[in-house]
Amino acid sequence: MHCAVVREPANPTMTAILVTGATGFIGQATCKALLSAGHAVTAATRAAPGQVHVRPVAVGDIGPDTDWSAALAGCEVVVHLAAHVHVLSGKAADVTGDFHRVNVEGSENLALQSARAGVRRLVFLSSVKVYGDVSKQRAFIESDRFEPTDAYGASKAEAEVRLKACCAESGMELVILRPPLVYGPGVRANFLSLLRIVDARWPLPVASITNRRSLVYVGNLVDALGVCLGHPAAANRTFFVSDGHDVSTPQLVREIASALGKTPLLFPFPPSLLRGAGLLTGRREQLVRLTESLQVDISSIKSTLSWNAPFSLHQGLAATASWYRTRSD
């Protein structure tokens, strides 16, 4: 399995870093990579994490009243990964309020306390969903206008605005990364479902789809986060990050099948009818992901930070398939 590695700066020095959401899919990979690079890592979660060699600090639920003082003590850089992402079953009421409280007010509160604690740089993980679910004539670039289509995307967009204002006033540096779909060992939700479907060799009506979608392997995302920790040119900049190799839905299914050692069963079906079925069955979002394009342009991070994805899509899917085969859940 490929491991994410944070690249060392020209004159490597240990940096004290606070990582929020440290027990999550991306957080665990980030902490492991930062530790391997020799940094001192404080891991902030709802409950103390089990990773060895991190300084665990339980901060409870994230919101406007969270006390970050213990977690921020001695930290120079904050990597803010924690977010409210999914709607829990049976919790349909006040969904927008949940996203706003955690992702907007919680992030702003962390930034304000970080500035007061003397943190020099905040690295914030945002999302391509600040632009919605579909890129039309071309890939998104960082200066495009926000057009979120759900509460999560809207909360990330508002969080970006508030963090920029906070950092402009305090002088703390801000770096924003906007990834598309993140996959890799430990992935959950829709990508794990797709792995299971392809592994079971269910027939899939996607052969006629000609879309293009950007993805990012967690190892590539963590590598980009590592570069953004201290690169002088990253200060107060926003970047898209991806594997740099966009694929159509049928191409992705074939790549996953190959990584799993399976032969995919794909058959043609009009994409317009698939989208209509999504509306009728209440699965519009899933069908949009299957049929529409969502691409990001990563030329800015490549030219500004000299960053290139260290892992290919093939390598990322191979690592994901290896994990999938040995997972315990």
Q: pLDDT tens-digit profile of 268-284?
A: 988 888 877 766 666 66
At residue 1, does pLDDT exceed 90?
Answer: no
Residue 52: the pLDDT is: 63
By the 8 A CB rule, do 113 and 281 touch?
A: no
In this predicted model, which residue has the larger pLDDT, 144 or 8?
144
CB-based contact 197:144 (threshold 8 Å): no
pLDDT grade for 141, boundaries at 50, 70 and 90: very high
pLDDT at 290: 83
48 pLDDT higher than 70: no
Across the range 310-319, mean pLDDT stands at: 98
Catalytic residues: 152
One-character DSSP codes across 231-299: -GGGTTEEEE---S--B-HHHHHHHHHHHHT----B----HHHHHHHHHHHT-HHHHHHHHS-B-B--H
- pLDDT of res. 281: 67
Tens of pLDDT, residue by residue over 191-246, are 999 999 999 999 999 999 999 999 999 999 999 999 999 999 999 999 999 999 99
- Mean model confidence pLDDT for the chain: 90
Band (pLDDT 50/70/90 cuts) for residue 42 is very high
Residue 131 clears pLDDT 50, i.e. is over it: yes
Query: What is the structure's pLDDT at 285?
Result: 73
- CB neighbours of 43 closer than 8 A, spacing ≥ 6? 19, 22, 23, 27, 31, 49, 51, 54, 55, 56, 57
- Enumerate the domain spans of the chain: 16-186+215-243+296-311
Contact 134, 293 (CB under 8 A): yes
Q: How many CA atoms lie within 13 A of 306 on its CB side?
A: 5
Contact between 75 and 18 (Cβ < 8 Å):
yes
Q: With respect to CATH, is domain 16-186+215-243+296-311 assigned 3.30.70.640?
A: no
CA distances from 2 to 27, 226, 263, 312 (A): 17, 16, 24, 11
